Structure 1
Amino acid sequence: MTNSWRLGIDIGGTFTDLTVLNNETGQLTGIKTPTVPSDPAQGIANGLALLKAQGIQPEDIHYFVHGTTIGLNTLLQRRGEEIALIVTEGFRDLLNLQRLRLPIPYDFSSRLPEPLIPRERVFTVKERLTHDGSVHTPLDMQSLDEAIQGAAASGAQGVVICFLHSYKNPVHEQQAVNRIAEIAPGLAANASSSLWPQMREYERAAMTSVNLYIQPNVQRYFETLQERLQEEGVKTTPFITQSNGGIMDIGTAAEAPVRTLFSGPAAGVIGAVHAARSAGIGNVITFDMGGTSADISIIESGEPTFTHFNQLGGMPIMLPSVSMYSVGAGGGSYAWIDNGGLLKVGPESVGSSPGPACYGKGDRAALTDAFLLCGYLNPDRFAAGNVQLYPERSAEAIGPVAEHLGTSAREAADAMIRVAVANMYAELSAVMEQHGFDPREFSLLAFGGGGPVTANFLAEEIQAQSVLVPPSPGTLCALGALTADFAYDAVLTLQKRLDEIQAEQLKKEYGLLADQALAWLDNQDAAGLEGSTLYYSMDARYSGQAFEIEMPLDRQLLEDSSGEQLASAFHELHRRQYGHSDPAAVLEIINLRVRLVGHTVKPVISEVAEGTGHALPTGKRSIIYGGTEYEADVYARRELLAGQVVEGPAIVEQDDTTVLVLHNWYGESDRSGNLILKRKEVRA
């Protein structure tokens, strides 16, 4: 066998997933091993040991991509470094005032999140730029020195610099960074204009604060990761996945860790795009259910959807990222009874340690315990047999819930699943309504350890066309990391009316952004790319509106010297999104955007051999759902051939997850190894 492997890794709250691909043969191997929260790199080392046991040597891995949650966990747990902030005089309360909006508009007791930097570590400097970037008040070096000395005396380990209108002209922020290096070299410094030069001071200040707050932890982890990989014999340098669905080298990720906050889920969506294309399905709702949470995203016409604004832990993250929404519980979400006596599941999770009761350590009844008692899971083959499950521990943990409901433990487990699915249905429906999508025009793509177990329930509720289960759903995030492209987003805030801009000026500004993106790609260790593509867009609005919408651009629009085609395209986009447009209104261009994609070599995945008729079950198992007992056939996923049919109710077992097929559905395998579930009435 040839020795040329590509490795993708995703560290989740419960499991660390590894996917290795043989470059020449197309052989895919997926591994799941429990995450080690106190030492995530150890979870990777444990996974490498499992690969070695299968004959895959670490020294034969020549390409390594890693999705990380270190920055995410640091922010959510508020365990970052103590940092300070230097702002323009008069803006000391920038982080405290925020946007003066209640987090929950109808709850007057809700409060704004505590800023990462307390007011006593915010210092002001005499300087001022106008809205067009011209200098109104030069940077006062005495007040800057006093601010730097105050930050150092406060015990801060780093300083964020965010001056008014610096997105238009970074000169004062750059002077401040240089001065910090001169008089306080021990202080790390992050300038907001260097991280993301876009208008809205609060959002820039908050996001740059997040970046510096999580940076030391992320850098320490990256150092540990590289040391551990060298110890294990992996010689290649890792790439890190980004929130925008792309990858970057580990050095770039260490400088801007805020770009990695949503890297794991984003990699899952990229893997889902790959799977949907292989199945020939364009419109997909991704359903990623892991041990801690469940997330969805929308793929329309084969392309993921993006957003330029997210919130995490109450902090605004003003960076392009794959659009994702939390829709409910994960496999570790545990059952509890509220004050009104109602059964609830989640959102709190038992995590990987102690884990669900069936792991043998904890005593809380989690959703995984319910899956086990309802017969969906094989206790001897969970995570390819690497994790032994104990049904008796699940029954004991669910006992108090069953006693409260007046049912058996198995019936209580069934009730837990129905509650969790109802929560997911309500939240998913809200997302679809918000975007104006009809779920009947979409397929549900299930992945993560718990997605394929739960997806058929959810598809039944929302009336989805079908359920698509890729060949390795439990490790699809790792596969997504493995197939991701290099990606870079550049932005320039323009904020001018269309009638004030010359076409040549627009082309020049876009050219500068493109040069910036191409320079970034040149600095990445991106050997062997299959070319690159530049995508152009702009954020525009009608003059007087508060917020803008993003409009993709093609070359024809950029060559339009009159601006009429540009305006017409915006009117049509506004009409499609909001149901109306105003051709007589003046158009205002806020931001120019360029996205660069460096196309990595996409490995050829081996096809599944063809078969006919019904697949042969390996056994039978008693299961329960919806209050009804069924005798389900059990199938081995690795034995399914393309074209073979699995009749529900059925259980399809594989190393990284389990697929549940309901009684009124059937499954069929395609040449790419995808299992596609459809209603029996559709086949009839």
Structure 2
Amino acid sequence: MSRKYRLGIDIGGTFTDLTLLDQENGRIVGLKTPTVSADPAQGIANGLAMLGEKGVQPSDIHYFVHGTTIGLNTLLQRRGASIALFVTEGFQDLLSLQRLRLPVPYDFRSRLPEPLIARKHVFPIRERMLQDGTVHQAIDTAQLDEVIDAAVAAKVDGIVVCLLHSYKNAAHEDQVAERIRTRAPELEVSVSSKLWPQMREYERAVMTAVNLYIQPNVKRYFETLKERLVIEGMPATPFITQSNGGIMDIGTAAEAPVRTLFSGPAAGVIGAVRVAESAGIGNVITFDVGGTSADISIIEDGKPTFVQTNHLAGFPIMLPSVSIYSVGAGGGSFAWIDNGGLLKVGPESVGSNPGPACYGRGDKAALTDAFLLCGYLNPARFAAGSVALQPELSAQAIQPIADYLHTDAQSAADQMIQVAIANMYAELSSVLEQHGIDPRDFSVLAFGGAGPVTANFIADEIQAQSVLVPPSPGTLCALGALTADFAYDAVQSRKNLLLDLPMASLNEEYTKLVDHAREWLELQDISGLEGQSYYYSMDARYSGQAFEIELPLDPAWLADSSHQRILDSFHELHQRQYGHSDTEALVEVMNLRVRVVGHTLKPLQARVPEAQGEVTAHGEREIVVRGQRYQAPIYLRTDLHAGHRVEGPAVVEQDDTTVLILAGWHGKVDPYGNLILRRTEEVK
């Protein structure tokens, strides 16, 4: 009888990560295979072939979750569809004016991003909806037909509809969309009020434009993926990860691909929540270092932090997403000398092809080359031996940097690592300050291929409590996808003083949002949910402020006749976030929100065997750390059992990454196989 497996896959810029869960015993297997940039689905097929070599057939996989970067890459590379924009007459320059702010306030040469839609493809619609949702001017249908014909003549692939105040009343947008579908059925249509009914016309227009811009490429990839899975013999229909840390079915993802833009890093944070829970650690700084960047996020009391707006390629993306901060320093980031003569590492990356010099295809000195020359990596075990590293090529690539620095290649490699660590530290310090966090109360959770190599450096710099390295850190994003829940955020803009909204009316509006969220969940192709939950919040601010904060609400408060409990909670939250509050000021409500979470089956927490005596080193080699040379013992992660302790400096090797333990630190394995690094107490 065949076993049942669940598979999570995350496609990164360098590697495609797979996490396979045996549902019967909770055993988890992590694998990595090089990403095929020209055909990402082929990378998945290659991963399935690797699983086949381990005795797992695609027909045994009945649940499949996939994180994708197709939409993200389409936007970053500006290779999307040709689209038009229909706006209220008089607002044709909406995308060109943007917010009239310089991207870099102190650099007058910095420029706003070029709009995704050319000005000649922005068409005015003669209509007007007022801010309270009443119709001031009905749609001029004759003029509407003219602009539809003009868009068709321009040979665009689709039309974005974003009319003034449609978040309050979507009737005009619906009418325009219906007319387009009748008159030009060959065109795709994306309507802003359906995608995200929130005020701020520019942001809403941009997000809807991004959605339609990336949609053809995403749909094409999804079709290719489904065809490839049929060929491989996998019966499972893919679910797709979202920026908000949840998942959705592939059909929903095809219609709203903008929700997938930050899906990979978000899935990693969800996986980190799971790992931290197993280790009994509530406060965590996630540290995901891959081939191109280091992604940082905050988990407090076991819960990830969220933002309502992100920026990507200079554009605002008004969707709830896991709060993630990136710095351009990863294993593929290469070294260079700037005009001032300073050594820099990143933000540009060599990617997976040609890759670091040690791959044998490129000649740029990347951070992976520095790790190799400093002795952190085993050339024969990199990515489970699937990529043979060549130290001599690393030395050859780093030598020009060494010559410039008047030192040898190994010392130059050590300096490259410290420059990269400084970049990461600078970004992390800013994030910690924004959140008002004392890092001494937090642990650094290291994952990604290069996270465990560099995390001990970062923890040492910020004085963090510990470093938490999960059993399969190189494939944690795939594990996060596998353990993610279905999630959807329903929103309704208000812009009213809280005291002007009767509690009964407020309760009624939240009920409508709950119904909308429930409908979304019911439309997903799901079987076997473990239940569902609803979370209420509102975006509120003091009247006259420019920006709002998200205030969690207890649904029981909506049954009150008074607003007092909501007001008290807002003042308390404002005090906590900004250090001040004003109980006499009026509170303004901007948006009402409800998040639905459909809980999926969670894998068992598999324990590792208890240690029987001390662990034996597999060997030793010279490593260079901050200018010091050490003979470091080398351990295999598979030899480490619960209770084993490893003293630094040391290197722990495993198939998907390498763990570096600094001098003055030690690592200890917990019952679930997590390796936890802490400072070694001084002997008195």
Q: How far apart, CA to CA, are the structure 2 residues paired with 1:607 and 1:5?
A: 19
Query: Does structure 1 retain, via aligned residues, the 8 Å contact 2:16–2:44?
Result: yes
Partner in structure 1 of residue 128 of structure 2: 128
Q: How does 1:534-573 map to 2 (within 5 A)?
A: 534-573=534-573
Partner in structure 2 of residue 660 of structure 1: 660
Shift, 1:327, TM fit: 2.9
Q: Given the alignment of the two structures, is residue 221 of structure 1 paired with residue 221 of structure 2, yes or no?
A: yes
Tell me the secondary structure at the aligned position of residue 552 of structure 1. Answer: strand
Shift, 1:605, TM fit: 2.9
Shift, 1:102, TM fit: 0.7
Shift, 1:47, TM fit: 0.7
Partner in structure 1 of residue 650 of structure 2: 650
Q: How does 1:219-618 map to 2 (within 5 A)?
A: 219-611=219-611, 614-618=614-618
Provide Cα deviations, 1:140-189, integer angstroms capped at 9, x if missing partner. 11121111111111121100000000001110101111101111111111
Q: How far apart, CA to CA, are the structure 1 residues paired with 2:614 and 2:115?
A: 59
Tell me the secondary structure at the aligned position of residue 266 of structure 1. Answer: helix
Tell me the secondary structure at the aligned position of residue 96 of structure 2. Answer: helix
Shift, 1:681, TM fit: 2.3
Partner in structure 2 of residue 81 of structure 1: 81
Q: Structure 1: which amino acid aligns with 2:250?
A: I
Query: Does structure 1 retain, via aligned residues, the 8 Å contact 2:278–2:605?
Result: no
Partner in structure 1 of residue 17 of structure 2: 17
Q: How far apart, CA to CA, are the structure 2 residues paired with 1:499 and 1:58?
A: 58
Query: Does structure 2 retain, via aligned residues, the 8 Å contact 1:207–1:318?
Result: yes
Provide Cα deviations, 1:57-114, integer angstroms capped at 9, x if missing partner. 1110000000000000000000001100000000000001111111111111111111
Deviates more, 1:252-261 or 1:337-346: 337-346
Q: How far apart, CA to CA, are the structure 2 residues paired with 1:652 and 1:613?
A: 18
Q: How many residue pairs align between the two structures?
A: 684
Shift, 1:556, TM fit: 3.2
Shift, 1:560, TM fit: 2.0
Partner in structure 2 of residue 64 of structure 1: 64
Partner in structure 2 of residue 44 of structure 1: 44
Q: How far apart, CA to CA, are the structure 1 residues paired with 2:681 and 2:156?
A: 65
Q: How far apart, CA to CA, are the structure 2 residues paired with 1:683 and 1:209?
A: 62
Q: How far apart, CA to CA, are the structure 2 residues paired with 1:26 and 1:434?
A: 38
Partner in structure 2 of residue 31 of structure 1: 31
Q: Structure 2: which amino acid aligns with 1:427?
A: E
Q: Given the alignment of the two structures, is residue 623 of structure 1 paired with residue 623 of structure 2, yes or no?
A: yes
Q: How far apart, CA to CA, are the structure 2 residues paired with 1:639 and 1:457?
A: 24
Q: How far apart, CA to CA, are the structure 2 residues paired with 1:235 and 1:212?
A: 30
Q: How far apart, CA to CA, are the structure 2 residues paired with 1:261 and 1:401?
A: 36
Query: Does structure 2 retain, via aligned residues, the 8 Å contact 1:560–1:566?
Result: no
Q: Structure 2: which amino acid aligns with 1:250?
A: I
Tell me the secondary structure at the aligned position of residue 681 of structure 1. Answer: coil
Q: Structure 2: which amino acid aligns with 1:361?
A: R
Provide Cα deviations, 1:295-341, integer angstroms capped at 9, x if missing partner. 00000010000000000001110000000001340000000111121
Q: How far apart, CA to CA, are the structure 2 residues paired with 1:393 and 1:492?
A: 57
Tell me the secondary structure at the aligned position of residue 681 of structure 2. Answer: helix
Shift, 1:496, TM fit: 1.1
Partner in structure 2 of residue 197 of structure 1: 197
Provide Cα deviations, 1:265-297, integer angstroms capped at 9, x if missing partner. 000000000000000001100000001111000
Provide Cα deviations, 1:483-517, integer angstroms capped at 9, x if missing partner. 00000100001111122111111111000100111
Tell me the secondary structure at the aligned position of residue 592 of structure 2. Answer: strand
Shift, 1:468, TM fit: 0.2
Q: Structure 1: which amino acid aligns with 2:433?
A: E
Q: Given the alignment of the two structures, is residue 95 of structure 1 paired with residue 95 of structure 2, yes or no?
A: yes
Q: Structure 1: which amino acid aligns with 2:384?
A: A
Tell me the secondary structure at the aligned position of residue 490 of structure 1. Answer: strand
Q: How far apart, CA to CA, are the structure 1 residues paired with 2:317 and 2:356?
A: 33
Q: How far apart, CA to CA, are the structure 2 residues paired with 1:561 and 1:611?
A: 60
Q: Structure 2: which amino acid aligns with 1:86?
A: F
Q: How far apart, CA to CA, are the structure 1 residues paired with 2:403 and 2:543?
A: 62
Q: How far apart, CA to CA, are the structure 2 residues paired with 1:85 and 1:27?
A: 50
Query: Does structure 1 retain, via aligned residues, the 8 Å contact 2:292–2:328?
Result: no
Provide Cα deviations, 1:184-241, integer angstroms capped at 9, x if missing partner. 1111110000000000000000000000000000000000001111111111100000
Partner in structure 2 of residue 55 of structure 1: 55
Shift, 1:55, TM fit: 0.7
Q: How far apart, CA to CA, are the structure 2 residues paired with 1:606 and 1:570?
A: 42
Q: How far apart, CA to CA, are the structure 1 residues paired with 2:379 and 2:283?
A: 35
Provide Cα deviations, 1:498-541, integer angstroms capped at 9, x if missing partner. 22111111111000100111111111112111100000000111
Q: How far apart, CA to CA, are the structure 2 residues paired with 1:682 and 1:599?
A: 46
Q: How far apart, CA to CA, are the structure 2 residues paired with 1:238 and 1:683?
A: 54
Query: Does structure 2 retain, via aligned residues, the 8 Å contact 1:614–1:646?
Result: no
Tell me the secondary structure at the aligned position of residue 225 of structure 1. Answer: helix
Query: Does structure 1 retain, via aligned residues, the 8 Å contact 2:8–2:479?
Result: yes
Q: How far apart, CA to CA, are the structure 2 residues paired with 1:614 and 1:300?
A: 35
Shift, 1:439, TM fit: 1.1
Q: How far apart, CA to CA, are the structure 2 residues paired with 1:681 and 1:337?
A: 40
Query: Does structure 1 retain, via aligned residues, the 8 Å contact 2:496–2:590?
Result: yes
Q: How far apart, CA to CA, are the structure 2 residues paired with 1:683 and 1:207?
A: 58
Tell me the secondary structure at the aligned position of residue 84 of structure 2. Answer: strand
Q: Structure 1: which amino acid aligns with 2:604?
A: V
Q: How far apart, CA to CA, are the structure 1 residues paired with 2:397 and 2:201?
A: 50
Q: Which runs of 5+ in 1 are unaligned?
A: none
Q: Structure 1: which amino acid aligns with 2:541?
A: R
Query: Does structure 2 retain, via aligned residues, the 8 Å contact 1:613–1:643?
Result: no
Shift, 1:683, TM fit: 9.2
Query: Does structure 2 retain, via aligned residues, the 8 Å contact 1:328–1:427?
Result: no
Shift, 1:614, TM fit: 3.7
Q: Structure 1: which amino acid aligns with 2:472?
A: S
Shift, 1:612, TM fit: 5.8
Query: Does structure 1 retain, via aligned residues, the 8 Å contact 2:334–2:367?
Result: yes
Q: Structure 2: which amino acid aligns with 1:168?
A: K
Provide Cα deviations, 1:406-460, integer angstroms capped at 9, x if missing partner. 1111111111001100111111101111221111111000000000001001111
Tell me the secondary structure at the aligned position of residue 228 of structure 1. Answer: helix
Q: How far apart, CA to CA, are the structure 1 residues paired with 2:4 and 2:434?
A: 46
Partner in structure 2 of residue 8 of structure 1: 8
Partner in structure 1 of residue 675 of structure 2: 675
Deviates more, 1:270-279 or 1:137-146: 137-146
Pick closer, same or farther for the CA change 1:270–1:683 going to 2, 3 Å: farther
TM-score by length of 2: 0.99
Q: How far apart, CA to CA, are the structure 1 residues paired with 2:23 and 2:682?
A: 39
Q: Structure 2: which amino acid aligns with 1:266?
A: A
Pick closer, same or farther for the CA change 1:682–1:601 going to 2, 3 Å: farther
Q: How does 1:136-151 map to 2 (within 5 A)?
A: 136-151=136-151
Q: Structure 1: which amino acid aligns with 2:485?
A: D
Shift, 1:613, TM fit: 5.6
Q: How far apart, CA to CA, are the structure 2 residues paired with 1:558 and 1:327?
A: 42
Q: How far apart, CA to CA, are the structure 2 residues paired with 1:170 and 1:556?
A: 30
Q: Structure 1: which amino acid aligns with 2:344?
A: K
Query: Does structure 2 retain, via aligned residues, the 8 Å contact 1:613–1:645?
Result: no
Q: How far apart, CA to CA, are the structure 1 residues paired with 2:96 and 2:494?
A: 28
Deviates more, 1:550-559 or 1:27-36: 550-559
Q: How far apart, CA to CA, are the structure 2 residues paired with 1:363 and 1:283?
A: 41
CA RMSD of the aligned region, Å? 1.0
Q: How far apart, CA to CA, are the structure 2 residues paired with 1:328 and 1:643?
A: 36
Q: How far apart, CA to CA, are the structure 1 residues paired with 2:637 and 2:322?
A: 30
